[in-house]
């Protein structure tokens, strides 16, 4: 690249969803910071449907996203990068040699086939370092889920998972035991709960699936695998193959319709999710690819066998979908429903079109959303456009765990965050949960000026908000440009201004609370406007590309010289010789 080209005004496309309040709050700050180093930002505010198409077509330079968070980081989130419909696929298309996307994805695959903890930890550190050095992400802030509750309620416990709201722990201190809730829906305003299906994805909302359905195990604090519909499990190694996990199931569990939970109901759900045709839709899960056999043994225990070692098996079984359990009574032909001819998948789902077209396969759906969870579905009222106006749930009075104190839950949709805030302050709304119903500044205002009316809480950092840079589109295909952008953005300033201290800047792609992610990565991608300008325009800064390298070498040399001088002075003060002979060094003398 010639000098004039290095200093020309570059333009980047910055794609943002219209309903993303967090990104909208900081977009102008990012744009202003990049303008200082000669990069013009063309911001494109798009509807969710177009946003998905842009992601699939790789038609962007900068794209706002989030890591998947607990319990999906790091293994499932990074595995998803192999999918060309995900933004990270294009972000990794043109990596700096010797690393390629294929080499990176092979490393991610191999680490999940290990069982030795030290090996797993070492391999993940190498992978995370590889990603960090490529400068394809600008980590912004660690996202904490906000929860705003009326003071008549108490006992809410923040979730350990993203986009879930465990309101079964809430106690009603006064007034009606019926509550109204404005939930966040994947980081946006809630508009629809979807079909309420346990085995399928968006528009089904995770938090509703979590209320209605349960799996064999659940995800607890700090990644602890906890009992759910299974009370215990035993993991065995299959010599020359994979693993065998034997689950002892909880007794006395009732589905919402009063029918009994047993091993046959678990196997039925696994049969439908993992049927020869349907499992293609769930191949993003390593567990789905690894599971080869599942059956009930003579003791009524449920057994899973894999065809290869897969260390995250239990963790993936904590996921809210798709391997959670619906009542056999809700299947098209009850407990006898054929996994291929009468599959539980809903007919007509867009993402299932290719699978439904397969000969001998048919989506028959479920007759009703019936699970074992702490709440059960009651009714819904729709708007004219088909979105939800309200959705009603009731507590499951025969729940195997602690019975919720709340009797009825009504989800309400709102046109904007101002109406949510107004309803909270008037007492018409009991809870605003998650990202979406309120802006960060509204939450801050409620916390500091209306604490007599509402209680504001936050989860731990569950995921990281990220700016992804496309390595397959000019000018972000140039790693120097990506590095310049990273150093140019003063995220600490605008995060404090826009979020009022509720969020904190981060420097790595994944939360350090995620398994195997508490590692120290270099170089430090810190705010450094001087370095950003040097990288973006060496000529303007009076330096060539070689000059930048020279400055870097000079800085390293100065640091080394200062360190050497400090070392010598310390030895002199200790009365030790400044220079050590090889024989003295061999004796182990230490400064």
- Using an 8 Å Cβ cutoff, are 275 and 326 in contact? no
262 burial (CB, 10 Å; 0-12 / 13-18 / 19+) is middle
CA distance 88 to 55: 9
Is the same domain home to 525 and 565? no
Report pLDDT for 556: 40
Residue-level pLDDT at 542: 52
Residues 355 and 260 in one domain: yes
Q: Is residue 39 part of a domain?
A: yes
Residues 551 and 513 in one domain: no
Tokens 């010639």 appear where? 2
Taking only the tens place, the pLDDT of each residue in 193-205 is 999 999 999 889 9
- Give the 3-state secondary structure percentages of the chain, helix then strand then coil, rounded to 5: 35, 20, 45
**Token pair for 24:** 């909208």
- Residues of the chain falling short of pLDDT 70: 1-6, 539-591
pLDDT digits (tens, 9 = 90+) for 129-176: 999 999 999 999 998 999 999 999 999 999 888 899 999 999 999 999
Torsion angle, alpha carbons of 113, 117, 123, 127, to 10 = 90
Cα-Cα-Cα-Cα dihedral sign, residues 343, 345, 349, 354: negative
Q: Which of 183, 138, 84, 251 is nearest to 488 (CA)?
A: 138
Verify that 499 and 568 share a domain, yes or no. Answer: no
Task: Count the Cβ atoms, other than its own, within 10 Å of residue 77.
Answer: 20
- Whether residue 425 is contained in a domain is answered as no
CA–chain centroid gap for 462, Å, is: 7
* Residue indicated by tokens 């539980």: 344
- What is residue 541's predicted lDDT score, i.e. its pLDDT? 54
Q: 562 lies in a domain?
A: yes
Specify the DSSP class assigned to residue 520. -
What SS3 state is found at 327?
Answer: coil
The answer to whether the CB of 66 falls within 8 A of the CB of 465 is yes
- Average pLDDT value for the chain: 89
Beta-carbon count within 10 A of 575 CB: 6
pLDDT of residue 352: 85
User: Which residues on neighbouring strands pair with residue 189, listed in sequence order?
Assistant: 184
Q: Please give the residue range of the domain that contains residue 349.
A: 198-203+215-378
Of the CA atoms within 13 Å of residue 339, those in its CB half-sphere come to 15
Please say which residue of 378, 396, 416 terminates a domain. 378
Residues 336 and 295 in one domain: yes
Q: Which of 495, 517, 536 is the last residue of a domain?
A: 536
CA-CA distance, 392 to 148, in Å (whole number)?
A: 20
Q: Is 188 within a domain?
A: no
Confirm whether 525 is domain-assigned: yes
Q: Is residue 550 located within the same domain as residue 531?
A: no
Count structural domains, the chain.
3
Residue 480 placed within a domain? yes
* Inside any domain, residue 133: yes
């Amino acid at each position: 690249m010639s000098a004039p080209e290095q200093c020309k005004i570059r333009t980047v496309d910055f794609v943002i969803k219209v309903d993303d309040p967090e990104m909208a709050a900081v977009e102008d700050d990012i744009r202003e910071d990049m303008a200082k180093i000669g990069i013009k930002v063309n911001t494109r505010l798009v509807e969710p449907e177009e946003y998905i198409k842009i992601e699939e077509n790789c038609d962007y330079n900068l794209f706002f996203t989030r890591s998947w968070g607990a319990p999906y980081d790091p293994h499932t989130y990074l595995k998803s990068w192999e999918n060309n419909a995900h933004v990270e696929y294009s972000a990794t298309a043109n990596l700096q040699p010797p690393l390629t996307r294929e080499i990176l994805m092979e490393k991610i695959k191999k680490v999940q086939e290990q069982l030795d903890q030290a090996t797993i930890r070492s391999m993940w550190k190498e992978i995370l370092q590889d990603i960090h050095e490529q400068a394809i992400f600008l980590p912004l802030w660690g996202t904490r889920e906000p929860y705003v509750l009326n003071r008549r309620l108490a006992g809410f416990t923040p979730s350990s998972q993203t986009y879930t709201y465990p309101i079964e722990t809430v106690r009603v201190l006064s007034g009606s035991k019926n509550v109204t809730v404005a939930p966040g829906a994947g980081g946006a305003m809630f508009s629809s709960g979807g079909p309420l299906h346990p085995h399928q994805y968006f528009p089904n909302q995770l938090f509703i699936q979590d209320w209605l359905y349960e799996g064999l195990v659940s995800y607890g604090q700090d990644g602890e695998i906890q009992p759910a519909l299974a009370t215990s499990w035993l993991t065995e190694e299959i010599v020359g193959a994979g693993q065998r996990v034997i689950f002892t199931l909880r007794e006395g569990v009732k589905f919402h319709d009063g029918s009994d939970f047993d091993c046959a109901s678990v196997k039925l759900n696994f049969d439908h999710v993992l049927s020869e045709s349907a499992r293609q839709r769930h191949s993003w899960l390593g567990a789905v690819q690894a599971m080869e056999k599942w059956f009930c043994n003579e003791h009524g225990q449920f057994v899973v066998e894999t065809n290869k070692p897969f260390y995250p098996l239990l963790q993936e079984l904590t996921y809210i979908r798709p391997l959670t359990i619906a009542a056999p009574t809700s299947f098209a032909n009850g407990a006898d429903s054929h996994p291929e001819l009468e599959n539980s998948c809903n007919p007509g789902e867009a993402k299932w079109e290719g699978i439904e077209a397969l000969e001998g396969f048919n989506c028959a759906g479920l007759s009703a959303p019936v699970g074992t969870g702490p709440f059960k579905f009651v009714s819904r009222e729709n708007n004219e456009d088909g979105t939800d106006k309200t959705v009603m749930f009731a507590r499951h009075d025969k729940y195997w765990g602690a019975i919720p104190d709340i009797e009825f839950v009504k989800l309400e949709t709102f046109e904007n965050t101002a109406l949510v805030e107004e309803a909270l302050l008037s007492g018409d709304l009991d809870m605003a949960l998650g990202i979406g119903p309120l802006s960060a500044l509204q939450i801050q205002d409620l916390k500091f000026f209306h604490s007599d009316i509402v209680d504001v809480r936050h989860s731990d950092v569950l995921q990281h908000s990220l700016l992804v840079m496309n390595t397959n589109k000019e000018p972000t295909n140039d790693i120097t440009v990506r590095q310049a952008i990273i150093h140019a953005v003063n995220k600490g300033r605008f995060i404090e201004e826009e979020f009022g201290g509720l969020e904190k800047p981060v420097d790595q792609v994944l939360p350090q609370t995620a398994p195997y992610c508490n590692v120290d990565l270099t170089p430090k991608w810190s705010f450094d406007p001087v370095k950003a300008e040097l990288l973006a325009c060496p000529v303007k800064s009076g330096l060539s590309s070689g000059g930048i390298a020279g400055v870097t070498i000079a800085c390293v040399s100065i640091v080394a010289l200062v360190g050497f001088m400090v070392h010598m002075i310390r030895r002199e003060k200790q009365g030790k010789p400044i220079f050590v002979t090889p024989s003295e060094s061999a004796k182990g003398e230490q400064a």
